Structure 1
Amino acid sequence: MSALNQSTRRRLSNLHQTPSVWEGDRRPISGLTDDDFEDNRGGECIVWVDGVEGVVRGMEVVPSEMGPEAIVRTLLKAMEHPQSPATPARPQKIVVRDREIQFYLRGVLQDLDIAVEYAPELPLIDELFRGFQQMASGRPPKIPPKYADLLMEKSYQIWEAAPWEVLADHQIISITLNQWDIETLYVAVMGMMGMEYGLLFYRSLDSLKRFRAAAIAEESFEQMEEAFLGQDCLFITFESLSEDEDADDEEIDYADLPVSEIQPNFGTINPFEGMRPFLYEEEAIALYVAIEALQKFVQGSARQLSAETLPKINKRLRITLPEETGSQETISIQVSTLPEFEAELLQMMESAEFDDEDYDDDDDDDDEDLSVPLREDVVPKDALKSLDIIPWEKMASLRKSVDYYQHQDVKEAGEGMPVVLIQTTLPKGKALIEQIKADGGLKGICFNPGEDPFADENYDLGILQAENGNMYLFGEFSQDDALHLVAKKKWDQRCKKTQGYCGLIIAKGLTGAARGNPQPKDMIALFETRSLSVKELGLGLLQLMSHFDFE
């Protein structure tokens, strides 16, 4: 389009025309704003300035590849909806420093009585961008240059060490430095649930405890923001360099990405400074030493840390300061687990859950359906589920290779063990395993009938039942699906041959090369259990309303 449509020209013509000259330009934004704003990378800033009033009437950041229409859009906003304190108006003349833009605007703005001229320099805009550059150059770097390579290398080492595979976020590790104005840092590891990966190094346990209490209480957004900014910690977090902004976060587990696609970020949070996305020198070296100590501690105590109950561990480690500090002195660092504090955090969580249950019970005493706990939030919704069989000759090695094994005296008959295979990410798989273990183990697997009376559809609902009676929905399989009907028929036949014995396999690798085809090395848990009949489960026909409910 080379000209405005008639209605737009008529609307602009009705604006009051002032005897002013506006300057307009588009310039690369690189180096002018904080690199933390991803949308600004590789973009351009379009600006329109009133030369008489000396005010910015319009400013937009756009992708570099966007065509000349973008500068027109910003100009129209500057006329009709200018930035305060300017009022809507039409200029008498506009000046640009690009010949192509000049000719383009002449064609677009015809019949609006606006002169479009060229000038090699735009004094007001030049001054504005000089100010931007001065502001940008005054910002400190994210990491002090002296320690940048050092800290980046250490961050990738701790990423590959993956402390979140052995430590949950309530298992706090203390690191006593007695250096750089820091006595002890208390490390909370994020990542076991496969949602966010990072390390928070709190300067006090009180700060950590206050924030956890606010998070558990599920306070309002304003209260949570206040609690977040009230933390006192150094941090390192990890994100994906290639993450698709439109992708569903639930489908992305950074642990499955190659290290080349991982970007570490550093900063601090302080009640008086808020969140600061850069480090000063003493903070950088303190963080480096703390990460080094944590890495050595986790690697040297991995077996103990993997125990069901976090043991009391105290280790004194020798850390040699890097030459970048100007001293290659070796310092002594005390690293310890805090099982007592872990118990305190768990008690906080359990108390909150108990309060929620009391509230629910008071509100729903008349709802008899809730007497049977059927949960839909235990098995990850994005997991892949299938009915399969493991040949008996492979069962022996699988029982030894998985991280967790629930044993039954299985009758080996037929081709092999019928299994339900759930493939998810490693952190989510571990969380599922822990939930089943916490509920006493797996009692059985059942395919219970369900129906949607509004759509006239029937389902087989895959349900896992724990020893304490809790039940988890792992799949809704349409009885109109021919592939499911064949798989379900084979399942029933195989379970009959094994006298009801079957298994649940939890595998990792949902987003990796093994997606849909996990190998033995991807299988992290094997629960040998029983196939339960509908009568044994005792739910009867379930109906789908807004969710599956009891008939």
Structure 2
Amino acid sequence: MTSFNRSTSRRLKKLTQIPSVWEGDRRPLSSSPTQPRDSEANGECILWVDGSQGIVRGMDVIAPDIGPEAIVRTLMRAMEHPHSPAKPARPQRIVVRDREIQFYLRGVLQDLDIAIDYAPELPLIDELFRGFSDILDSQIPDLPPQYAQILQDKAFAIWQAAPWEFLEEQQILSIEINKWDVGTLYASVMGMLGMEYGILFYRSEDSLKRFRAAVLKDDESTQRLEEAFLKQDCLFLTFEQADDTEEDEDEIGDLADLPLSEIDPTFGNIHPLEGLRSVLYDEEALVVLVALESLSRFIRDHRRQLHGASFPTLSRRYRISIPQSEESTKSVSITVSTMPQMAAELEEMAGFGVEAQEIEDSDSPTFRSLRDDLIPEDSFLSLGVVSWEMLEYLYKGVNCHKVGEIKQVGDGLPVILIQTSRPKAKTVIENLEAAGGLKAICFNPGADPFDNNRYDLGLLQTQNDELFLFGEFLDDEPTHVEARKKWNQRCKNTKGYCGLIIAKGLTGASRGNPQLKDMMALFEARSLSPKDLGVGTLQLMPQLQFE
């Protein structure tokens, strides 16, 4: 048994011993089944009370699996640093209601001249714990107990369906319910940007559009954005990293990379007059439940159509069962529909609806247009090399688009690395595959007539002969100049073969240095010189144009 150091015993014996009896106990705060499993109410409370004066001298809340030493630590604070208005002191007698605690304290406190007695009841502590339990048990749970488990299950079904992989926030789905004073909900899916994952169920089109307009204003301050956020009228489901996950959130990067066991769904409501609350009441829980179930079925039935380049017109009616309902109605009919017209309106508000400018040059028939909408703006970009050994691993474990046998000369295959979030990386890969794959990589001269700067423009040419801008580099920047020299030499070694690697992990610990597990696709291609491409110097204007 652990005992006090002699110096600690001497220090405690110097405290004034007062003629009082202290009650001590350790017990659960609440046994209510309505408390969440990670709630602090499921901890245990240690109390030391001066029964003679009727005051609490020390209190701690601990996890149930902490050993008996905890009750001694709290007792020491009750003696040396008690809660006001008590003064430092040690009692003549201690009473506990647990035989194991009694024997443990007798062994630990044997040098302090304190009697340790047993009593089946502790009147003061019993009364205090009754009060604690009443307070805790009267707290409203985050979800109604009768719907909590099924709502969790529906949330995880949505997480696994991952609608954010193919639906953007402005691609709204209407969910017609017509029950519980709710007409139609307008679902906006968050997550394609790889930042926040969830679904907002707006109660009106007006609320959705007003919030979109507010966040798109350039002059919005943080305070005004917060005000706009709280003026939304919606129910929500969001996903967060579980509190007990050991990894640092900054090191995880994309939440979608975590296993299901480390994901926590959160439900709630936002209303201009209520603000934000992470609690759903009975009717709200039923509304979210049938909305999630009908949305899951709609995604299952129309996943292929929703994956397309355009947002199609689709509609489907479902009969959804209502579990444990006190109403006579056992099911409700729900209609889920896409809203292409609203999506177009929201895209126009955001300025998305501008088509790529066509490049008019009759002497360059090998491509149709120059675009800058393939590579996400916030991507990490680098010129480098993949060793021949690593290349073999990529062939075995990554989505590879090979162009043929490459002679292994030099230190490896020259590559352009594009690192972004996982959802954006998947979109880039899908767009390249839809264009037939990657045909060539080229660095072409560019000029800005406004500041007289000269640029080295990185271009990707797809198999359908479209050109995409992936980077703008000052042509006299030393780091880039050196990287370009190495690129040219490596391409010469490989007889013009090079590659493009698309990787995830932009916000994680592997940012700028993706590991094999982060690499999602390799597109092999040919390296073209500006002469081979034959487009001349490009002018950097509001749109890229030829001289």
TM-score (norm. length: structure 1): 0.63
Deviations 1:223-253 (A, max 9, x none): 7776655544322233566953343444264
Native 8 Å contact 2:164 2:189 kept in 1: yes
Amino acid at match of 1:327: T
Tell me the SS of whatever aligns to 2:188. strand
Q: Does 1:343 align with 2:344?
A: no
Answer with 229-238 or 428-437: which moved more. Answer: 428-437
Change (3 A) 1:233 1:227: same
Q: Give me the whole-angstrom Cα distance separating, in 2, the residues matched to 1:428 and 1:88.
A: 63
> How many angstroms does 1:76 deviate by?
3.0
What 5-or-longer segments of structure 1 have no aligned partner?
Answer: 351-374, 401-409, 447-462, 478-484, 534-551
Corresponding residue to 2:333 among 331, 346, 363: 331
Native 8 Å contact 1:30 1:40 kept in 2: no
Tell me the SS of whatever aligns to 1:38. coil
Change (3 A) 1:411 1:7: closer
Tell me the SS of whatever aligns to 1:57. strand
Native 8 Å contact 1:420 1:505 kept in 2: yes
Q: Give me the whole-angstrom Cα distance separating, in 2, the residues matched to 1:53 and 1:464.
A: 80
Aligned counterpart, 2:89: 90
Native 8 Å contact 2:23 2:51 kept in 1: yes
Tell me the SS of whatever aligns to 2:380. coil
Native 8 Å contact 1:385 1:422 kept in 2: no
Amino acid at match of 2:337: V
Aligned counterpart, 1:458: none
Aligned counterpart, 1:138: 138
Amino acid at match of 2:78: A
Corresponding residue to 1:426 among 422, 438, 453: 422
What 5-or-longer segments of structure 2 have no aligned partner?
Answer: 355-375, 444-456, 460-467, 509-513, 531-547
Change (3 A) 1:417 1:112: closer
> How many angstroms does 1:167 deviate by?
1.9
Native 8 Å contact 1:386 1:422 kept in 2: no
Native 8 Å contact 1:68 1:101 kept in 2: yes
Aligned counterpart, 2:502: 506
Aligned counterpart, 2:71: 71
> How many angstroms does 1:2 deviate by?
1.0
Amino acid at match of 2:130: R
Aligned residues: 452
**Structure-to-structure mapping, 1:152-551, within 5 angstroms:** 152-204=152-204, 207=207, 213=214, 231-239=232-240, 244-251=245-252, 253-257=254-258, 259=260, 262-303=263-304, 305-307=306-308, 311=311, 313=313, 315-322=315-322, 324-325=324-325, 326-329=328-331, 331-337=333-339, 338-343=342-347, 346=350, 378-379=379-380, 386-387=386-387, 389=391, 398-399=400-401, 414=407, 419=415, 426-427=422-423, 429-430=425-426, 467=469, 469-470=471-472, 495-497=491-493, 499-506=495-502, 523-524=520-521, 526=523, 528=525, 530=527
> How many angstroms does 1:262 deviate by?
4.6
Tell me the SS of whatever aligns to 1:235. strand
Superposition RMSD in Å:
5.2
Q: Give me the whole-angstrom Cα distance separating, in 2, the residues matched to 1:172 and 1:72.
A: 59
Native 8 Å contact 1:186 1:203 kept in 2: yes
Amino acid at match of 2:120: P
Q: Quick check: which has more Rg, 1 or 2?
A: 2
> How many angstroms does 1:504 deviate by?
0.9
Aligned counterpart, 2:359: none
Q: Give me the whole-angstrom Cα distance separating, in 2, the residues matched to 1:56 and 1:227.
A: 46
Q: Give me the whole-angstrom Cα distance separating, in 1, the residues matched to 2:151 and 2:295.
A: 14
> How many angstroms does 1:74 deviate by?
1.9
Change (3 A) 1:158 1:413: closer
> How many angstroms does 1:5 deviate by?
5.2
Amino acid at match of 1:331: S
Deviations 1:33-81 (A, max 9, x none): 9845737486422222333454433322223332333222222333444
Deviations 1:139-165 (A, max 9, x none): 455544554454344333322221111
Amino acid at match of 2:346: E
Deviations 1:75-99 (A, max 9, x none): 233344444x534432534322233
Q: Give me the whole-angstrom Cα distance separating, in 1, the residues matched to 2:128 and 2:225.
A: 37
Tell me the SS of whatever aligns to 1:185. strand
Aligned counterpart, 1:481: none
Q: Give me the whole-angstrom Cα distance separating, in 1, the residues matched to 2:282 and 2:89.
A: 52
TM-score (norm. length: structure 2): 0.64
Change (3 A) 1:257 1:111: closer
